RNA sequence: GGGCGCGUAGCUCAGCGGUAGAGCACUGCCUUCACACGGCAGGGGCCACAGGUUCAAACCCUGUCGCGCCCACCA
C-alpha cells in the first residue's frame, strides 16, 4: 500500500503490471475443478502489426476472458500467430530484393529461401504479440502456437491425407483464378471484383465456306471485354432457338488473326436477348466458356503462361508470343481494325477480378490443382448452425453464412508458393502398358501417392510399381524429393529407375487456419487440453472473415472432432472506420495507430472506448475525442480512489459487504448489486456497449457524484464515529467492487488502484466477482432517491433564479408527512452541504422561492433577492408541464380501449402517474397563488 | 440481379409497443479542502418520408427516398 499519486499517468504502471501478471502465471491460474471457459484467438499474421481492428477484436476477447476469470471459470485464451503464406513470402522476398545483394528466392533455391523466412520469423515475428501485450490481452502465452510449428504440420498432414482417403480432397484439372503477379492459384474468395472503366469490343467473325446468315450477312458479331482471348477461341455459341443463327449451327467461322476454323455450336449459354445473341467461346480462359467447352467437347487452347504472357499456341502469330496480355489486347484490336473486323468499341464500366493481395487482374487459367470437396463438408457445418449448436451473434450473420455455405464451390487449396505447409503428395511416372514408364506432371500422366510421411509414400510406390513390373528396389539416391526436375524425370523414359518427387506446392494458409480450434490443443493427439477446451465457448471475429475462416473451421472442426462444432457462439463485430465513417487504409492515410493512442491516453482508455462503441451489427466510427473522454473517466476514477485513500478508506476485508445501518450505505450496497446484475446481463447478451455504459454511469454518476458527496459530512471531524467507521468500510468495499467490475475493460488502472488501496492476498486479475444475493434495501433506496431529488430540485431552482451559489438559505416546508419530516432531519447535513439550505426558524411569508418535491412544498424566503416575475414564470412553466402530462394521462385513462385492452400494469402505472401529476400541478398552482 | 444493414439532439450512437436517452460538442454559473482530464445547472429532437396494424408506434407491417456493405459467369 502506498500513496496514490496526484497525477494519473498510465505509462507508469501498465507495462509493469503486464509483466507481473505474465510472470506469476495470472493469465491462466490453476483451476482444475472450475468449469473451463475457452476462447481461441483469431491468429494474427506473423507479419502483422497491431492495427485498430486487432485492438477491437482483442479488447472484446479480453473483456470476456477477464470477466469469466473473475467469475471463477478456468479461463483460457488460446493464442498464436498465423504463417500467412503469401503475405510473409512477399515481405521476405521484398527484403531480399532490397538487400545489398539484391537476390530472389529463385536464385536462392527453396531450402535456403525457407531458412531465410524462418530467420525472419524468429527475429521479427513477435512484433504483434508484443503489441497485444501492450493492449493488455491476457492470453495463455505459455502455450503459444504457430500455424507452421511441428504439431501443426502433423495436424495439417493428417487432415490432408484423411480427406484424400475419404475422397473429400482430390486433384483436378480445371480453371483456377491465376494471380500472374504471385504466380499462384488463388481461391474464389481471394478474388475481389472491382468496377473499372473498360471497353467492350464487338468483333466480326467471318463465316467460313461462303455460308450466310438468315439476314444475308457473312459474319457473326461477338463481343468481349478481353479481346486478346480471341486467340484462344475454339467455338462460337448461339442458342438453338435463335432463328437468326439456326441455319449456321454446325458450320464454321474463320477465326481472324489465327487462321483457325472454329465451329458454331448450339448452347444454352448463349442468350438471344443479350448483345448479338452469339458468344465467342474461350474454354481455357473463361469460367463460363470452360463449361461450354466441356459440354460441347471443344478443344481447350491455352494462350497464356504463368506471367500472363502470350505463348505459341496453335494459330497464334509469332509476333504475339511473349507479349504481355494487355499489350496483346491492344495489338489484337489494332490487327482486327486493320482487317476491318471491328464493329464497335464501347466504353463502359466493367467488372474485373483482382487478386486481393496482389492487386492485379487475375486470369482464369487451366491447371492441375488440389481441391477440397467443400460442398460435402458444408452440409454438417450448415446443420450445426441451423440446429443452434453454434449460434451467431448478432443472428443476422447466420443468413450470410447459410447463403454462402449453400452455394459453396470446390475449394482450391494448393498454392504455387514456397512458404507454407508442403502438400504431402508424391508423384511418380504413371505406368502405361507397353510403353514402360512415362513421367509428366503437366500432362497429368503421372501417378500420385498421398501419405503422411515420405517413408509411407515410398511404401505405396513400391507396392504400385511392384504390382506392375515385378521387383522394385528403392535406392536412396533414386528417391529425390527435392532436386529432381520434371525434365530429368521425363528423360528416364523406359528406364527401370523410378524417380519420385514431392509436390512442389504448399497449402492455402486458410487450410491450416481451419484447424486452429483443435490443432492448437494438441490434435491429432488425444490430449487432456483437447478434451477440456474443445469446443471453444465463443469465437470473436470480424464479419469479413466468416467465409475465409469461420466457415472452414466449422467444416473441419465438425469433420475431425466427432461432429462437435468448434464454438458454441460466434460473435461477429464490425469494422473500425475513421471519424468520418471511411474505411481505414494505409493508402488513404486515415489509419489510426492503436499504439499511439495507448501512448497518449493509456491502454485502458482505448479499451474502454472500443468496448463502449461496440454495439451489435454496426461498424465503429472511431473519433479520438472518445478516447480522450474515457481517459478522463480513468482520471476521475483515479482521483476518487485518491480521495478515498486520503479519508482513511482502504481495501475491504471481504468480497461480502460490511454490515451497514445508515441508509446511504445501505443504498450504495444495493446500487452495487444492481450494477453487477446489469453487467452480468450485458455479458450474457454480448452487449459490450451496455457493459461500458452501466459501469461508467455507476462509477461516475452514482458513486462519485452522489455517494462520495453524500458521505463527506459523515466522515468529517465531529461526525458520529460509528457511522464514520461504517462508512469507511462500505466505501472501501464499494470502491473494490467498482475496481472488480471495471477490471475486464480497464485492467491496468484497476489493478494499480487495487494494490494502492491496501495489502491484498491476491491480484485483482484473479479476484472474485461481485457476490450474488447482496441486500437490496428498498427503503434505504427510496430514502436516498428522495434525497437526491430534493437536492436536485433546490439546485435547479437556485440556478434558474440566479441565487448566489454560496448563499445559505433557510427553508420552511409545508405538506410534509412524518416520513418526509424524518428524512429532512436525518439528511440535514447532506442537504445543507449539497443544496445549501437549512431549516428556517420562522416560516417564509413574502417574496419567496417555492418548489414542489414529492408530497411537500418548500419555501425559501428571498424577498428582495430574486425576481418575483422570474419565479412566477418558473412556477408557471413547471405547472404547465405537469398539467399537460396530467391531461394526457387523463385522456388515455378515459379511453375505454386503454383500460379494457392494455396490460393491467400499464393501466396501473398510468393511474399512479396521473395522481402524482395532478397533485404536483395542484401544489404548483397553490405556490403561484401564494406569490400573488 | 440477389441478400443484408443503416437513416433518432450539432456529431457519434443507445432505445425497438406505453408519448424520447447517453457521451462529446454547445450555453450559464462555480479557482467549494479527490478531480478544471473537474463541479452544478441548462438549451437542443414533427425519432428520413408516406400509408397500414393497434386502445397506444421511434419501436410491428407495406411502400418510397437516401446511404453503406456482401454475394453473383450478362459474353
Instruction: Evaluate whether A847 touches A868 at the Cβ level (below 8 Å).
Output: yes
Q: What is the pLDDT, as a whole number, of residue A73? A: 96
DSSP annotation of A188: G
What is the pLDDT averaged over residues A819-832? 92
Kindly tell me if the per-residue pLDDT of A471 is higher than 70. Answer: no
Chain center to CA of A718: 57
**What does the DSSP assignment read for A874-889?**
HHHHHHHHHHHHHHHH
Give the lowest-confidence range in A69-73, A779-783, A891-895: A891-895
Task: Give the number of other CB atoms < 10 A from CB of residue A236.
Answer: 26
Reported as a single tens digit per residue, the pLDDT across A578-593 is 777 777 777 677 778 8
Residues A407, A644: Cα–Cα separation, whole Å: 62
Residue A60 backbone dihedrals phi, psi, to 5 degrees: -60, -40
Is any atom of strand B within 7 angstroms of residue A753's beta carbon?
no
CA of residue A697 to C1' of nucleotide B39, angstroms: 16
What is the pLDDT averaged over residues A256-273? 90
Is any atom of strand B within 7 angstroms of residue A395's beta carbon?
no
Residues A906, A732: Cα–Cα separation, whole Å: 40
Tell me, letter by letter, the H, E, C secondary structure of A612-630. HHCCCCCCEECCHHHHHHH
Query: Closest nucleotide to A689's CA, by C1' atom?
Result: B14
Q: What is the pLDDT, as a whole number, of residue A845? A: 73
Chain center to CA of A769: 27
Beta sheet of A567-573, edge-to-edge order:
A74-78, A36-40, A536-542, A567-573, A391-393
Strand B and chain A: which residues 535-564 have CB closer than 7 Å? 544, 547
CA dihedral sign, ordered A512, A515, A517, A520? negative
Instruction: Evaluate whether A197 touches A349 at the Cβ level (below 8 Å).
Output: yes
Kindly report the pTM of this predicted structure. 0.92
Query: Closest nucleotide to A407's CA, by C1' atom?
Result: B71
Kindly tell me if the per-residue pLDDT of A445 is higher than 70. Answer: no
User: Predicted confidence band at A840 (pLDDT cuts at 50, 70, 90)?
Assistant: confident
Helix (H) or strand (E) holding A262: strand A260-266
- Residue nearest B13 (alpha carbon to C1'): A613
DSSP annotation of A581: S
CA of residue A403 to C1' of nucleotide B71, angstroms: 9
CA of residue A931 to C1' of nucleotide B9, angstroms: 36
Q: Which nucleotides of B are covered by protein (CB under 7 A)?
A: 3-6, 11-15, 18-19, 22-25, 28-30, 32, 34-35, 37-42, 54-56, 69-75
Query: Closest nucleotide to A200's CA, by C1' atom?
Result: B75
Helix (H) or strand (E) holding A162: helix A150-165
Kindly tell me if the per-residue pLDDT of A432 is higher than 70. Answer: no
| The three grid cell numbers given for residue A64, joined into one nine-digit string | 470476456
Q: What is the pLDDT, as a whole number, of residue A118? A: 94
Q: Which of A641, A627, A756 is nearest to A16 (CA)?
A: A756
Kindly tell me if the per-residue pLDDT of A481 is higher than 50. Answer: no
What is the pLDDT averaged over residues A392-406? 90
Orientation of helix A603-613 relative to helix A594-601, angle to 10°: 120
Chain center to CA of A458: 44
**Interface predicted TM-score of the whole assembly (ipTM), two decimals:** 0.95
What is the pLDDT averaged over residues A166-189? 92
- Total residue length of chain A: 932
User: Predicted confidence band at A446 (pLDDT cuts at 50, 70, 90)?
Assistant: confident
Amino acid at each position: 500500500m502506498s500513496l496514490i499519486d496526484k497525477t494519473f499517468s498510465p505509462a507508469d504502471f501498465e507495462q509493469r503490471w503486464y509483466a507481473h501478471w505474465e510472470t506469476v502465471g495470472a493469465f491462466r491460474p490453476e483451476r482444475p475443478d472450475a468449469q473451463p471457459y475457452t476462447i481461441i484467438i483469431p491468429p494474427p499474421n506473423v507479419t502483422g502489426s497491431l492495427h485498430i481492428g486487432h485492438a477491437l477484436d482483442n479488447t472484446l476477447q479480453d473483456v470476456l476472458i477477464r470477466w469469466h476469470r473473475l467469475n471463477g471459470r478456468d479461463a483460457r485464451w488460446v493464442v498464436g500467430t498465423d504463417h500467412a503464406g503469401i503475405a510473409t513470402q512477399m515481405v521476405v522476398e521484398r527484403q531480399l530484393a532490397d538487400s545489398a545483394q539484391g537476390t530472389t528466392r529463385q536464385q536462392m533455391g527453396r531450402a535456403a529461401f525457407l531458412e531465410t523466412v524462418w530467420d525472419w520469423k524468429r527475429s521479427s515475428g513477435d512484433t504483434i504479440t508484443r503489441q497485444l501485450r501492450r493492449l493488455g490481452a491476457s492470453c495463455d502465452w505459455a502455450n503459444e502456437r504457430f500455424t507452421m510449428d511441428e504439431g501443426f504440420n502433423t495436424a495439417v498432414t493428417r487432415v490432408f491425407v484423411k480427406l484424400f482417403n475419404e475422397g473429400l480432397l482430390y486433384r483436378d484439372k480445371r480453371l483456377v483464378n491465376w494471380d500472374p503477379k504471385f504466380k499462384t492459384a488463388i481461391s474464389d474468395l481471394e478474388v475481389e471484383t472491382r468496377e473499372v472503366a473498360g471497353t467492350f469490343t464487338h468483333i466480326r467473325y467471318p463465316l467460313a465456306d461462303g455460308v450466310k446468315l438468315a439476314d444475308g450477312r457473312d459474319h457473326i458479331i461477338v463481343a468481349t471485354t478481353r479481346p486478346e482471348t480471341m486467340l484462344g477461341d475454339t467455338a462460337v455459341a448461339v442458342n438453338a432457338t435463335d432463328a437468326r443463327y439456326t441455319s449456321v449451327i454446325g458450320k464454321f467461322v474463320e477465326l481472324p488473326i489465327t487462321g483457325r476454323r472454329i465451329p458454331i455450336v448450339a448452347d444454352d449459354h448463349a442468350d438471344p436477348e443479350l448483345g448479338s445473341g452469339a458468344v465467342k467461346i474461350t474454354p481455357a480462359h473463361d469460367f463460363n466458356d470452360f463449361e461450354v467447352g466441356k459440354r460441347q467437347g471443344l478443344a481447350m487452347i491455352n494462350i497464356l503462361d504463368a506471367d500472363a504472357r502470350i505463348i505459341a499456341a496453335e494459330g497464334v502469330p509469332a509476333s504475339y508470343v511473349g507479349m504481355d496480355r494487355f499489350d496483346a489486347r491492344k495489338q489484337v484490336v489494332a490487327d482486327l481494325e486493320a482487317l476491318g473486323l471491328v464493329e464497335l468499341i464501347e466504353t463502359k464500366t466493367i467488372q474485373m477480378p483482382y487478386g486481393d493481395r496482389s492487386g492485379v487482374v487475375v486470369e482464369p487459367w487451366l491447371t492441375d490443382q488440389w481441391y477440397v470437396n467443400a460442398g460435402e463438408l458444408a452440409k454438417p457445418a450448415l446443420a450445426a448452425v441451423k440446429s443452434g449448436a453454434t449460434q451467431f451473434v448478432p443472428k443476422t450473420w447466420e443468413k450470410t453464412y447459410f447463403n454462402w455455405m449453400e452455394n459453396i464451390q470446390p475449394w482450391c487449396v494448393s498454392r504455387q508458393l514456397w512458404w507454407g505447409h508442403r502438400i504431402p503428395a508424391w508423384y511418380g511416372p504413371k505406368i502405361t502398358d507397353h510403353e514402360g514408364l512415362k513421367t509428366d506432371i503437366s500432362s497429368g500422366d503421372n501417378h500420385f501417392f498421398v501419405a503422411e510421411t515420405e517413408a509411407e509414400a515410398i511404401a505405396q510406390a513400391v507396392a504400385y510399381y511392384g504390382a506392375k513390373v515385378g521387383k522394385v528396389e528403392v535406392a536412396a539416391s533414386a528417391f529425390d524429393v527435392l532436386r529432381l526436375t520434371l525434365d530429368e524425370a521425363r528423360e528416364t523414359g523406359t528406364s527401370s529407375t523410378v524417380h519420385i518427387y514431392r509436390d512442389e506446392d504448399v497449402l492455402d494458409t486458410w487450410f491450416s487456419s481451419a484447424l486452429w480450434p483443435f490443432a492448437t490443443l494438441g490434435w491429432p493427439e488425444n490430449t487432456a487440453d483437447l478434451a477440456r477446451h474443445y469446443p471453444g465457448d465463443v469465437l470473436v471475429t470480424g464479419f469479413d472473415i466468416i467465409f475465409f475462416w469461420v466457415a472452414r473451421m466449422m467444416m473441419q472442426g465438425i469433420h475431425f472432432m466427432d461432429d462437435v462444432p468448434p464454438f458454441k457462439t460466434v460473435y461477429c463485430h464490425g469494422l473500425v472506420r475513421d471519424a468520418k465513417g471511411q474505411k481505414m487504409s494505409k493508402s488513404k492515410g486515415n489509419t489510426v495507430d492503436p499504439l499511439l493512442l495507448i501512448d497518449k491516453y493509456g491502454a485502458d482508455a482505448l479499451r474502454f472506448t472500443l468496448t463502449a462503441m461496440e454495439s451489435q451489427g454496426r461498424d465503429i466510427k472511431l473519433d479520438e475525442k472518445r478516447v480522450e473522454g474515457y481517459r478522463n473517466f480513468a482520471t476521475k476514477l483515479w482521483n476518487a480512489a485518491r480521495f478515498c485513500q486520503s479519508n482513511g478508506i482502504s481495501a475491504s476485508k471481504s468480497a461480502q459487504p460490511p454490515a451497514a445501518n445508515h441508509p446511504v450505505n445501505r443504498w450504495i450496497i444495493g446500487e452495487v448489486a444492481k450494477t453487477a446484475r446489469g453487467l452480468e446481463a450485458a455479458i450474457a447478451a454480448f452487449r459490450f456497449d451496455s457493459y461500458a455504459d452501466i459501469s461508467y454511469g455507476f462509477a461516475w454518476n452514482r458513486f462519485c457524484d452522489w455517494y462520495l458527496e453524500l458521505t463527506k459530512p459523515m466522515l468529517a471531524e465531529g461526525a458520529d464515529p460509528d457511522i464514520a467507521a461504517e462508512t469507511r468500510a462500505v466505501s472501501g468495499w464499494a470502491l473494490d467492487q467498482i475496481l472488480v467490475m471495471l477490471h475486464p475493460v480497464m485492467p491496468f488502472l484497476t489493478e494499480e488502484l487495487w494494490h494502492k488501496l491496501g495489502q491484498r492476498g491476491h491480484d485483482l486479475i484473479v479476484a472474485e466477482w461481485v457476490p450474488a444475493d447482496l441486500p437490496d434495501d428498498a427503503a434505504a433506496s427510496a430514502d436516498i432517491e428522495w434525497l437526491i431529488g430534493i437536492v436536485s430540485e433546490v439546485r435547479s431552482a437556485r440556478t434558474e433564479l440566479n441565487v448566489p451559489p454560496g448563499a445559505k438559505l433557510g427553508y420552511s416546508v409545508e405538506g410534509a408527512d412524518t416520513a418526509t419530516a424524518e428524512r429532512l432531519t436525518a439528511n440535514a447535513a447532506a442537504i445543507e452541504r449539497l443544496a445549501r439550505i437549512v431549516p428556517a426558524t420562522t416560516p417564509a411569508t413574502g417574496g419567496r422561492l417555492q418548489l414542489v418535491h414529492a408530497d411537500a412544498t418548500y419555501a425559501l424566503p428571498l424577498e428582495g433577492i430574486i425576481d418575483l416575475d422570474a419565479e412566477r414564470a418558473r412556477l408557471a412553466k413547471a405547472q404547465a408541464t405537469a398539467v399537460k402530462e396530467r391531461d394526457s394521462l387523463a385522456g388515455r385513462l378515459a379511453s375505454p380501449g386503454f383500460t379494457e385492452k392494455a396490460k393491467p400494469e400499464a393501466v396501473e402505472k398510468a393511474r399512479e402517474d396521473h395522481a402524482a401529476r395532478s397533485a404536483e400541478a395542484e401544489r404548483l398552482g397553490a405556490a403561484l397563488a401564494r406569490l400573488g
